[in-house]
Amino acid sequence: MNEAAPIILAALMDKGSQAHFTALRTRHFPPERNYLAAHITMFHHLPGTRADDLVADVKDELRHHGPITARTVKVHMMGRGVSYVVESEGLRDLRARLAARWAADLVPQDRAGWRPHITVQNKVKPDAAKALHAELGAGFAPREIGIEGVTLWWYRGGPWERLRDVRFRR
């Protein structure tokens, strides 16, 4: 039942950035483990029993603001994978406002410091991760990412199921 499943909140990237990072993920993530498109997770585990309230809160926050710009700033070695570190003052501020609204509902992982990133490889041997890190690092150039809103996802242990996209006002 949907109400029992936790909810994940992720930034909604512009179509070009989404396609770019998903293509990298498709190329480098182990295929048997890759059942998600590229994403920037903002919250990992929100209570599914509060889905309507969460959507209302997100709508309230986003109606006051226009789209946000984010930027990749470096390639990050994760041990058994590789990600792009993402920086955005606007995205950090949005997350902080939502975290304040949802403070009583946050799991420890979501109360801890937030390090926005886009994972393009994970769960590989360290040598494979080191090789990809070197390859992507050698050709790295910062990339601007348009953040058009957020997506709330149901999480049931496998591919995420879209609950709702909420976009910034234009």
Interval 28-42: pLDDT, tens? 999 888 989 999 999
Q: Which residue shows structure tokens 């959507």? A: 55
Contact (Cβ atoms closer than 8 angstroms) between residue 80 and residue 126: yes
Residue 4's pLDDT is what?
74
Interval 102-132: pLDDT, tens? 999 999 999 998 999 999 999 999 999 999 9
Contact (Cβ atoms closer than 8 angstroms) between residue 118 and residue 86: yes
For the chain, percent of residues with pLDDT exceeding 90: 89
Quickly list DSSP for the chain: -GGGS-EEEEEEE-HHHHHHHHHHHHHHS-TTT--S---EEEEEEE-GGGHHHHHHHHHHHHTT---EEEEEEEEEE-SS-EEEEEE-HHHHHHHHHHHHHTGGG--HHHHSPP--EEEEE-SS-HHHHHHHHHHHHHT----EEEEEEEEEEE-SSSS-EEEEEEE---
Q: Which one has a higher pLDDT value, 129 or 159?
A: 129
* pLDDT of 73 strictly over 50: yes
Quote the pTM value: 0.94
Listed residue (49, 60, 24) closest to 39, CA to CA: 24
